[in-house]
């Protein structure tokens, strides 16, 4: 009987060690994911900072078609949740942008020194 008890205790000890190993592996993975997410956040903030120098002139319809930051965050959170969890929550679709109305523009061609001056005037810095 004591032999069976010793065998049972040994099996319990091995099971506990396996659970402990799995817990440690999961903790390490969580740390890696957290580090990667912080790195991605820093990179996205840097990208936003660099992109802020570009200014676009948008019509009111185009501005209305751009999803809000909150909508993009909600969409991303649901997508990530769905990818890592087995939930059946469907991510909300982002609004589709309204196509720009095309306007017909005529080009003018100048010859000589006036051409260089015209191209300088046409260039616009942001």
pLDDT in tens, 19-60: 999 999 999 999 999 999 999 999 999 998 888 888 777 777
Q: Residue 1's pLDDT band (boundaries 50, 70, 90)?
A: confident
| C-beta atoms surrounding 34 within 10 Å | 10
Alpha-carbon span 70 to 27, nearest angstrom: 30
| C-beta atoms surrounding 56 within 10 Å | 7
pTM of the predicted model over 0.75: no
Burial of 42 (C-beta count, 10 Å sphere; 0-12/13-18/19+):
exposed
Greatest mean pLDDT among 25-29, 67-71, 95-99, 114-118 lies in 25-29
Predicted confidence at residue 73, as pLDDT, reads 83
- Domain segments of the chain: what residues? 1-54, 56-99
Residue 98 near residue 62, CB atoms below 8 Å: yes
């Amino acid at each position: 009987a004591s032999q069976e008890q010793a065998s049972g205790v040994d099996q319990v000890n091995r099971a506990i060690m396996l659970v402990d190993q799995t817990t440690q592996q999961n903790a390490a993975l969580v740390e890696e994911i957290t580090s990667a997410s912080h790195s991605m956040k820093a990179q996205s903030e840097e990208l936003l900072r660099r992109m802020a120098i570009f200014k676009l002139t948008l019509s009111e319809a185009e501005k209305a078609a751009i999803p809000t930051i909150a909508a993009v965050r909600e969409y991303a959170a649901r997508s990530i949740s769905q990818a890592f969890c087995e939930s059946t929550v469907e991510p909300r679709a982002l609004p589709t942008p309204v196509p720009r109305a095309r306007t017909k523009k005529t080009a003018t061609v100048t010859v000589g020194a006036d051409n260089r001056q015209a191209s300088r005037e046409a260039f616009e810095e942001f």
